[in-house]
Amino acid sequence: MWDALVGVMKSAYTAGLGEGTVPRPVIMPLVRSELVGVIWLRPIKVGEDALTGIADLANIAAAADADEVVLAWETHDVATACNLPVVSPAPCLNMVAATRDGHVLHQFPYTEQLLARGPEGWASVAPDWRPAPAPQSGGELVPPIQAAVNFAFTPIELDHPDPFRVTVVLMEEDGYSVRLTEAFAR
């Protein structure tokens, strides 16, 4: 499952960068090793809204009672959105696999090869994936990602017979892109 998720994220980054954008942070909750879905960050404003928006990715994982989550984000993009210092490596696709017992940080650094520059100044680039450093058990996470990891395993207290469905609806209304797998879409 891990290799498939890494492949999906690398493909998403290749496609996004080719269109001149960096994909937004994403969470992929799992229940008993089954993928619940893929939830992409809503449109955000720089600063506190970005911090809150990223941390709130955890809501669906918590509502689904996930036993594992995978989050993916780009180093420079999250640092800029959250007014945090950029840490090395950058640019870099980061992925963290987390359970209630801890997490492992995986980093996939890349360099950008310019493909084209649009008249408005945006650049279309292709990632040239560099050798990945060894996974870091308990590796340091930027604050909003650490908050999302923590909140993913904090039960949601929602007075409703189906807190998962309500959470999905509320997150979609807030602008998150929620794509559930068939097993969880019912």
Per-residue pLDDT tens digits for 24-45: 999 999 999 999 999 999 999 9
Among the listed residues 55, 56, 67, 81, the one whose alpha carbon sits nearest the alpha carbon of residue 174: 56
Mean of pLDDT over the chain: 92
> What is the pLDDT at residue 184?
85
The predicted model gives 96-103 an average pLDDT of 97
* Residues composing the chain: 186
The predicted model gives 48-56 an average pLDDT of 97
> What is the pLDDT at residue 36?
95
Give the rounded percent of residues in the chain with a pLDDT score beyond 90. 76
C-alpha torsion angle, residues 139, 142, 144, 147 (rounded to 10): 30
Tokens of 113: 């090869």
